[in-house]
Amino acid sequence: SENGYDLWLRYKKVANNSLLQAYRQQLNSILASGNSPTMDIVRKELQTGLNGLLATTVAQRTTPQPGTLIAGTPQNEPLLRNAAITGQLKKAGNEGFIITTTTINNIPTTVIAANTDIGVLYGTFHLLRLLQTEQPITKLNIVSAPRIRLRMLNHWDNLDRTVERGYAGFSIWNWHTLPDYIDPRYIDYARANASIGINATVLTNVNANATVLTKPYLEKVKALADVFRPYGIRVFLTARFSAPMETGGLKTADPLDPAVQQWWQQKVKEIYQYIPDFGGFLVKANSEGQPGPQDYHRTHADGANMLADAVAPFKGIVIWRAFVYSHTNPLDRHTQAYDEFTPLDGEFRKNVMLQVKNGPIDFMPREPFHPLFGAMPKTPLMMEFQVTQEYLGQATNLVYLAPLFKEVLESNTGNDYTVAQVIDGTARHDSLTGIAGVANIGNDINWCGHPFAQANWYALGRLAWDHELSSASIANEWLRMTFTNNQHFVDTAAAMMLQSRDIYVQFTNPLGLHHIMGTGHHYGPAPWVNDQRRPEWNPVYYHKADSIGVGFDRTTTGSNALAQYQPKARQQWEDLQTCPDAYLLWFHHVPWNYKMRSGRSLWNELCYQYYTGAARTAALQQTWNKLQAYVDQQRFHEVAMLLGIEHKEAIWWRNACLLYFQTFSRQPIPARYEQPS
């Protein structure tokens, strides 16, 4: 059945018959002789992939013939030790690969070559993708290497298998049956990640307790690390800062206390005995009530460096999160991370990275990029995106996130380089580089809840490998692999995906509104909530609607958060007259009768946006219904029902928000926007 379990690795027979014949001829056998667990996976993947796609049995050979696919490294395959190949491999680095149509000993072949076995595996998935997406392969000359070193998933999974902000079932890590039972799903997980270049995973929630650092759990972690290793995936764990007290019996977790330092050094040694290639720690400290170095009047750098020193002898790293805020900074939560971290630039050890969320608030449907990306030139900054759709309709809404990721990556920091150039290290010559995505994976049959949510996992991996890929090309290849190569289907569904995030913004948080969703669960509208105990959790704190207007003044007359951006970046936002509509209410408190670029008053524009957004969800339903003939019925109906939910919710958002804001604007909703729905 088409239940979505296979993700984008379905390997169905190529539908285009002339291409099928050509592929069969050009790839009639496999020669991959390298001897390692990774090369075993290469052979198996080529066999499963080619046998499925070409509906044939592809022979394994030890000497090449016309039409043999040769896969390997110059070390493990003597046939690849020729100057043309080794020359090209200089550009492939440790994880990259080349795929070329060439002759070896005068025999026409296709070659996948790399400097390492894992590079060969990445090349294998790339070649299979060309077939899955029905690309010509007669004159291949591909060199591909990742632009970013750490391409990582962050699981917010708890040991009881609940997933914080997870909408696709329970955690796929079955701690109860580990380490002795290896769920085949762990292997499928690793394979799916390898197919898109993801090479690191944090198994535990940033809010986790210290239990995972105890011996019985380290044995379980080791079992997972052993499964992932041949797929090129390194395991990381979250480290709760107070672990020395909770599991070590110490009286303090002060990072400058020698007993605490020693406890961590011992713990790290123990971890590396189980997992020799352990990646390191991800730490959430002094944020949302989590313990941290500030509890002892130490800095984030003191805390990070203490852990960094412990992992350094093993080449481990520490990823310290910049997501910090507290209720003691009630003026503007926007400014806290920058204020806490910029004074520490240059004070972190070389094996520390600072992981910064894409925006300064919290994964809102649209945020300006985080001002830290334009600062801290001496600290490697890692991007944290959210793949799970906490604030983007969770798993019931079709929201394709590549346009959100790209919007952030392409933003100019104001220093004449983009956020992407900070993240990939080219702007500042960082040697540690990384992108993390908070995973949307759970034990639902289809992994991600919404069939289209798989595209967000896919896009995260593809953009981490190459952030210059376009949202459209990623949507296109994902659709072809996941559904069908039918051109009409692909064009139509890609258009749906490419507008989906804009539609979501329009019916929930148009014009720069943000954080007006239900508090706690973060689902659906609740702009009216006003709980005095935690002002920075309340929608009213963010929209600031009153009889004059709506929006958060972050200019010099307000919180002045804009001052944290480089002058060239803040220029685009600071003047109400020139600020783009998309960020207007993010940075300005705007009168209800303010005349917008459209010619409408702000109030009428708000009505227009909410009504248009909701109407566009109805259009998504109609478009999808016309695609029924092109997709299997199981996934067709699943998506159709989910689009129905999204449409209902759009009306809920529209009505709730407009009726609430109307109590301030005291103006009617223009009749012409009220389409029947």
Question: Judged by CB, which is closer to ligand GCU: 126, or 165?
Answer: 165
When asked if residue 165 is in the footprint of ligand GCU (CB under 6 A), the reply is yes
Q: Say if residues 287 and 323 touch (Cβ distance below 8 Å).
A: yes
Beta carbon of residue 387, minimum distance to ligand GCU (angstroms, whole number) = 13
Write the CB contacts of 219 (distance below 8 Å, at least 6 apart in sequence): 178, 179, 274
Is 209 an interacting residue with respect to ligand GCU (CB under 6 A)?
no
Cβ atoms of 438 and 156 within 8 Å: the answer is: yes
Angle between helices 402-409 and 487-508 (to 10 degrees): 70
The minimum distance between CB 264 and ligand GCU, in angstroms, equals 22
Give, as one character, the DSSP assignment of residue 362: S
Q: What share of the chain is helix, strand, coil (3-state, %, to 5)?
A: 45, 10, 45
Report the length, in residues, of the chain.
Answer: 677
**Positions in 251-290 near ligand GCU (CB under 6 A):** 284
Q: Is 424 a catalytic residue?
A: no
Q: Which of 134, 270, 347, 362 is catalytic?
A: 362
The correct pick among 164, 246, 466, 502 for binding ligand GCU (CB under 6 A) is: 164
581 touches ligand GCU by CB under 6 A:
no
**Using alpha carbons only, what angle is made at residue 648 by residues 644 and 652, rounded to the nearest 5 degrees?**
165
Residue 523 as a binder of ligand GCU (CB under 6 A): the answer is no
**What part of residues 284-323 is at the interface with ligand GCU (CB under 6 A)?**
284, 323
Site for ligand GCU in 589-618 (CB under 6 A): none
362 annotated active-site: yes
We find the least distance from the C-beta atom of residue 35 to ligand GCU, in angstroms, to be 43
For residue 156, the minimal CB distance to ligand GCU (Å) is: 7
The reply to whether 207 sits near ligand GCU by the rule CB under 6 A is: yes
The neighbour count for residue 621, using CB atoms within 10 Å, is 15
Q: Which of 390, 477, 605, 638 is catalytic?
A: 390
Nearer to ligand GCU, 274 or 542 (CB): 542
Q: Whose CA is closest to 394, among 475, 481, 452?
A: 452
Smallest separation (angstroms) from ligand GCU to the CB of 341: 15
Query: CB-wise, 36 or 207, nearer to ligand GCU?
Result: 207
Phi, psi (deg, nearest 5) at residue 30: -125, 135
Single out the catalytic residue among 288, 410, 468, 491: 288
114 binds ligand GCU (CB under 6 A): no
The count of residues interacting with ligand GCU (CB under 6 A) is 8
Contact between 360 and 334 (Cβ < 8 Å): yes
Which of 390, 574 has the CB closer to ligand GCU?
A: 390
Distance between CA atoms of residues 234 and 240, nearest Å: 20
Cβ atoms of residues 104 and 69 within 8 Å: no
Distances (CA, A) of 492 to 81, 179, 450, 643: 46, 45, 18, 15
Q: Least distance to ligand GCU from the beta carbon of 207, Å? A: 5
- As a three-state string, the secondary structure of 501-566 is HHHHHHHHCHHHCCCCECCCCCCCECCCCCCCCCHHHCHHHHHCCCCCEECCCCCCCCCCHHHHCC
Of 425 and 449, CB closest to ligand GCU: 449
| Dist CA 179 CA 231 (whole Å) | 19
- Scan residues 336-365 and list those touching ligand GCU (CB under 6 A): 362
Q: Which amino acid is at 101?
A: T
Question: Which of residues 39 and 282 has its CB atom nearest to ligand GCU in the complex?
Answer: 282
By the rule CB under 6 A, 370 interacts with ligand GCU: no
Q: Which residues bind ligand GCU (CB under 6 A)?
A: 164-165, 206-207, 284, 323, 362, 390
Active-site residues, by number, are 288, 362, 390
